[in-house]
């Protein structure tokens, strides 16, 4: 095979390395070759076996590493991931307790409202938070919803596949619901659930009866349950073994977010019960204010909890949480979640081939991520590999390593256009440092806000803030105007403080682990895992 230096569009490529297929037989090929063409895995073979037809002129990449299916994250409020870890002020019992508090407004909703409504920042936010996913090997996540001043809503079309708008037309779209189900509307919820392939629903976040009642809201009048295999319950932290029994019997899934649960509530879901009852378990890092910086970090938390429970999950099972189980929850298992012929080429290469193959991913840092490929296009990785596989638009330092990115402006979402990660990062870091000033400017513009003239301005996209009730840009502007007139509330400019942009990765951020260890509600075994 010849090896041209740069891959042309549509040209096939071969990735060589140790292949962790995650297929039904959990096959690991020590010296394997993955043949990729037109975004699809054509074949997976042993090195030395005859290549399939059409790969004579393929670009051959000796990765020297261990290759996994791309990581699939089923819960993350991505737009909030510019915010640093929140110093959670107390131990909460349920999700109704922290939104709306003065500290939440100062540290989370206030800054997000200011950044989310100041022109230029929405673009920087989507660029930055998507890069955080890519640098950790995440190839699918929940999407970012946008609203324009013209009253249009849509999802950000990025490089990372999103579950609500998954690039490939053959993949069914998932739906996301942040709000709890109203028990009076359970029949409508069930009708919606039956019409969808996957419904990602916040379910009983917190511990105790108040949180659990949102699960009980899914029980119908005849005592049957409004649950089927399309339900993916996010958190499910307050469910007991009987509840998980119901979920398991219905082939439902959960999205476990242990770090976020421990940071806010001092405890997490009864994950051993969920496993024992046959619930399909997946993983999500929730958001950076009270969760892992990315899915690779959350996988380590899951491993630490598993160890604490006496080795609840095998290493292969831990990797399944972020690959094949997640694909199954989305009903994408025919297209993604494993490395097999006919599947989409969403792949992540982790450096080195030594040691336990599954542990390579579990213990990997972002510095170990050598290549991230989505639909056959290399998006992030070591410059040497990236150069052979296509375009490099910029480079970024990750710990001691330089990572090349392909954030090609051709085909990029119009909200980001040519905005580089470096420029987005600079704008956000500066803006967050002078948040009170930005807030003041925003207050002046909001004071004279008129929906009519706002609508007549050139089309501008703003991020929707899912935790602030999924409000559209109009609702947000109106609410700020109302809040300004309310004398009891401090204006945002007096409430927010200068802040530091959250780091792109954990690698190279020495203070991060110490900040996690200082958090109030984290049990000692987890603090030890962050040493
Ligand atoms: Zn959430």
Is 62 found in the same domain as 90?
no
Residue 305: enclosing H or E segment and its boundaries? helix 295-308
Which pLDDT value is given to residue 375?
95
Average pLDDT over residues 184-194: 96
Calpha distance 19→45 (Å, rounded)? 9
Is 254 found in the same domain as 186?
yes
Residue pair 71/280 in contact by the 8 Å Cβ criterion: no
- Ligand 1 centre to CA of 210 (Å) is 17
Task: Find the angle CA(493)-CA(497)-CA(499) to the nearest 5 degrees.
Answer: 130
- Ligand 1 centre to CA of 430 (Å) is 27
Check pLDDT > 90 for residue 74: yes
pLDDT class of 152 with cuts at 50, 70, 90: confident
Check pLDDT > 80 for residue 479: no
- Ligand 1 centre to CA of 168 (Å) is 25
Query: CATH number, domain at 225?
Result: 3.20.20
Q: Is residue 206 part of a domain?
A: yes
Phi-psi region of 185 (alpha: psi -120 to 50; beta: other; left: phi over 0): alpha
Q: What are phi and psi of 155, to 5 degrees?
A: -95, 150
Report pLDDT digits (tens) over 394-429.
999 999 999 999 999 988 899 999 999 999 999 999
Is 252 found in the same domain as 324?
yes
Residue pair 207/197 in contact by the 8 Å Cβ criterion: no
- Ligand 1 centre to CA of 244 (Å) is 20
Check pLDDT > 80 for residue 9: no
Tell me the β-bridge partners of 18. 66
Q: Is residue 366 part of a domain?
A: yes
Is 100 found in the same domain as 247?
yes
- Ligand 1 centre to CA of 313 (Å) is 24
Q: What are phi and psi of 184, to 5 degrees?
A: -75, -20
Q: How far is CA 411 from CA 98, 159, 381, 408, in A?
A: 40, 10, 20, 7
Average pLDDT over residues 243-248: 98
Calpha distance 257→292 (Å, rounded)? 9
Structure tokens, 469:
């009730």
- Ligand 1 centre to CA of 337 (Å) is 23
**CB-based burial label for 326 (10 Å; 0-12, 13-18, 19+):** buried
- Ligand 1 centre to CA of 46 (Å) is 42
Residue 511: enclosing H or E segment and its boundaries? helix 510-518
**CB-based burial label for 8 (10 Å; 0-12, 13-18, 19+):** exposed
Q: What are phi and psi of 389, to 5 degrees?
A: -95, -5
Report pLDDT digits (tens) over 337-373.
999 999 999 999 999 999 999 999 999 999 999 999 9
Which pLDDT value is given to residue 510?
83
Q: Is residue 128 part of a domain?
A: no
Is 288 found in the same domain as 265?
yes
Phi-psi region of 119 (alpha: psi -120 to 50; beta: other; left: phi over 0): beta
Q: Is the pLDDT higher at 116 or at 278?
A: 278
Q: Is residue 413 part of a domain?
A: no
Q: Is residue 362 part of a domain?
A: yes
Is 379 found in the same domain as 239?
no
C-alpha torsion sign, points 166, 359, 355, 23: negative
Average pLDDT over residues 384-393: 94
- Tallying the residues shown for the chain, one arrives at 531
Q: What is the mean pLDDT of the chain?
A: 93
Which of 270, 262, 173 minimizes the C-alpha distance to 517?
262
Calpha distance 339→505 (Å, rounded)? 26
Is 153 found in the same domain as 47?
no
Which of these three, 405, 425, 440, is where a domain ends? 405
Is 242 found in the same domain as 160?
yes
DSSP string, 49-101: SPPPTT-TT-EEEEEEEEEEEPEE---B-GGGGGSPPP---S--SBTTSSTTS
Q: What are phi and psi of 185, to 5 degrees?
A: -110, 25
Task: Find the angle CA(54)-CA(57)-CA(63) to the nearest 5 degrees.
Answer: 105
Is 319 found in the same domain as 256?
yes
Q: What are phi and psi of 353, to 5 degrees?
A: -115, 5
Structure tokens, 302:
């899951």
- Ligand 1 centre to CA of 415 (Å) is 24
Calpha distance 451→371 (Å, rounded)? 46
Is 352 found in the same domain as 320?
no
Q: How far is CA 491 from CA 179, 228, 332, 442, 444, in A?
A: 27, 45, 46, 11, 11
Residue pair 275/255 in contact by the 8 Å Cβ criterion: no
What is the domain count for the chain? Answer: 2
Task: Using DSSP, state whether 249 is helix, strand or coil.
Answer: helix
164: containing domain: 78-104+139-329+511-529
Which of these three, 362, 380, 405, is where a domain ends? 405
Check pLDDT > 70 for residue 515: yes
Q: Is residue 469 part of a domain?
A: no
As a three-state string, the secondary structure of 306-356 is HHHCCCCCCHHHHHHHCCHHHHHHHCCCCCCCCCCCCCECCEEEECCCCCC
Check pLDDT > 70 for residue 472: no
Calpha distance 268→355 (Å, rounded)? 31
As a three-state string, the secondary structure of 216-245 is HCCECCCCCECCCCCEEEEECCCCCHHHHH
Span of 98-102, 214-218, 468-472 with lowest mean pLDDT: 468-472
- Which are the contacts of 322, defined by CB distance < 8 A and separation ≥ 6? 71, 72, 73, 282, 283, 295, 299
Which pLDDT value is given to residue 1?
40
Which of 136, 455, 488 minimizes the C-alpha distance to 293?
136
- Ligand 1 centre to CA of 140 (Å) is 16
- Ligand 1 centre to CA of 260 (Å) is 9
Which of these three, 384, 405, 426, is where a domain ends? 405
Calpha distance 200→72 (Å, rounded)? 14
Check pLDDT > 70 for residue 529: yes
Query: CATH number, domain at 396?
Result: 2.30.40.10
Is 177 found in the same domain as 146?
yes
Check pLDDT > 80 for residue 469: no
Residue 253: enclosing H or E segment and its boundaries? strand 253-256
- Ligand 1 centre to CA of 75 (Å) is 7
- Ligand 1 centre to CA of 112 (Å) is 15
Structure tokens, 92:
């909460």
Which pLDDT value is given to residue 483?
58
Q: Is residue 194 part of a domain?
A: yes
- Ligand 1 centre to CA of 259 (Å) is 12
Is 149 found in the same domain as 50?
no
Structure tokens, 326:
């997640």
Average pLDDT over residues 467-474: 66
Residue pair 202/260 in contact by the 8 Å Cβ criterion: no
Span of 65-69, 455-459, 471-475, 525-529 with lowest mean pLDDT: 471-475
Q: Is residue 460 part of a domain?
A: no
- Ligand 1 centre to CA of 97 (Å) is 14
- Ligand 1 centre to CA of 22 (Å) is 27
């Amino acid at each position: 095979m010849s090896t041209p230096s740069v891959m042309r569009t549509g040209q096939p490529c071969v990735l060589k390395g140790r292949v962790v297929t995650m297929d039904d037989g959990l096959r690991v090929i020590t010296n394997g070759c993955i043949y990729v063409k037109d975004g699809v895995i054509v074949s997976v073979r042993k090195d030395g076996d005859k290549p399939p037809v059409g790969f004579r002129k393929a670009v051959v990449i000796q990765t020297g590493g261990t290759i996994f299916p791309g990581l699939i994250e089923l819960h993350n409020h991505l737009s909030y991931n510019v915010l640093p870890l929140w110093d959670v002020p107390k131990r909460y019992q349920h999700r109704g307790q922290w939104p709306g508090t003065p500290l939440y407004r100062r540290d989370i909703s206030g800054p997000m409202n200011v950044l989310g409504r100041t022109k230029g920042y929405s673009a920087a936010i989507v660029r930055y938070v998507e890069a955080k996913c890519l640098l950790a090997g995440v190839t699918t996540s929940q999407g970012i919803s946008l609203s324009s001043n013209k009253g249009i809503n849509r999802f950000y079309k990025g490089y990372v596949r999103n579950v609500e708008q998954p690039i490939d037309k053959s993949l069914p779209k998932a739906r996301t619901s942040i709000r709890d189900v109203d028990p009076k509307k359970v029949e409508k919820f069930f009708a919606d659930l039956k019409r969808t392939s996957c419904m990602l629903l916040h379910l009983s976040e917190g511990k105790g009866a108040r949180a659990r009642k949102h699960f009980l809201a899914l029980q119908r009048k005849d005592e049957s349950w409004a649950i089927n295999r399309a339900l993916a319950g996010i958190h499910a932290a307050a469910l007991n073994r009987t509840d998980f029994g119901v979920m398991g019997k219905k082939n439902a899934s959960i999205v476990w977010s242990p770090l976020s649960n421990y940071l806010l509530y001092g405890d997490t879901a009864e994950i051993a019960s969920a496993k024992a009852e046959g619930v399909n378990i997946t993983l999500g890092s929730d958001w950076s204010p009270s969760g892992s910086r990315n899915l690779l970090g959350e996988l380590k938390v899951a491993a630490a909890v598993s160890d604490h429970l006496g080795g609840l999950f095998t290493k292969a099972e831990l990797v399944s949480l972020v690959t094949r189980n997640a694909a199954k929850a989305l009903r994408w298992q025919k297209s993604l979640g494993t490395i097999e012929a006919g599947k989409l080429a969403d792949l992540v290469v982790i450096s080195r081939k030594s040691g336990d193959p599954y542990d390579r991913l579990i213990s990997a840092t972002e510095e170990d991520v050598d290549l991230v490929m989505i639909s056959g296009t290399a998006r992030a990785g070591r410059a040497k590999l990236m150069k052979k596989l296509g375009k490099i638009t910029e480079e970024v330092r990750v710990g001691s390593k330089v990572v090349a990115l392909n954030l090609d402006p051709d085909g990029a979402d119009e909200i980001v256009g040519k905005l580089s990660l470096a420029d987005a990062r600079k704008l956000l870091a500066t803006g967050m440092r002078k948040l009170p000033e930005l807030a003041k400017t925003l207050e002046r513009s909001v004071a004279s806000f008129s929906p009519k003239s706002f609508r007549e301005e050139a089309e501008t996209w703003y991020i929707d803030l899912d935790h602030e009730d999924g409000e559209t840009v109009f609702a947000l502007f109106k609410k700020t105007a109302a809040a300004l007139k309310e004398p009891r509330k401090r204006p945002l400019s007096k409430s927010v403080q200068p802040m530091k942009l959250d780091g792109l990765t954990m690698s190279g951020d020495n203070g991060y682990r110490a900040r996690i260890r200082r958090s109030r509600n984290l049990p000692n075994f987890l603090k030890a895992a962050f040493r």
